[in-house]
Amino acid sequence: MGKAARTKRDRREGGPDGAPRTVVAHEPKRQLPVFWIVIGVLLLGGIVALVATRPSDSDSAATKAAQGAPAFAEVEVTGDQVPAFTTGDDPAVGEQLPTIAGTSTDDGPIRLDAADGAQVIVTLAHWCPHCQAEVPRIVDWAKDGGLPDGVKITALSTAASEDRPNFPPAAWLAKEAWPYETMVDDEAGTAASALGVEGYPFITFVDADGTITERFSGEMPIDDFDDAVQRIAPSA
- Any idea what the CATH number is for the domain that residue 166 is in? 3.40.30.10
Position 56 in a domain: no
pLDDT at 33 (0 to 100):
63
Handedness of CA 215, 219, 221, 225 (dihedral sign): positive
Position 95 in a domain: yes
d(CA 225, CA 109): 27
Domain total in the chain:
1
d(CA 54, CA 48): 10
pLDDT at 183 (0 to 100):
98
Position 184 in a domain: yes
Position 128 in a domain: yes
The pLDDT profile of the chain, 236 residues, written as one tens digit per residue, is 444 444 444 444 444 454 544 444 444 455 556 665 556 555 655 544 444 444 444 456 666 667 778 999 999 999 999 999 988 999 999 999 999 999 999 999 999 999 999 999 999 999 999 999 999 999 999 999 999 999 999 999 999 999 999 999 999 999 999 999 999 999 999 999 999 999 999 999 999 999 999 999 999 999 999 999 999 999 86
Position 51 in a domain: no
The whole model's pTM is what?
Answer: 0.74
- Backbone region of residue 136 per phi and psi (left: phi > 0; alpha: psi in -120 to 50; beta: other values): alpha
d(CA 93, CA 212): 5
Which of 35, 13, 10, 33 is CA-nearest to residue 22?
13
- Do 186 and 114 meet the contact criterion of CB atoms below 8 Å apart? no
Position 47 in a domain: no
| Structural domain that includes position 114 | 71-232
d(CA 43, CA 40): 5
Position 125 in a domain: yes
pLDDT at 65 (0 to 100):
60
pLDDT at 25 (0 to 100):
46
pLDDT at 125 (0 to 100):
98
pLDDT at 87 (0 to 100):
87
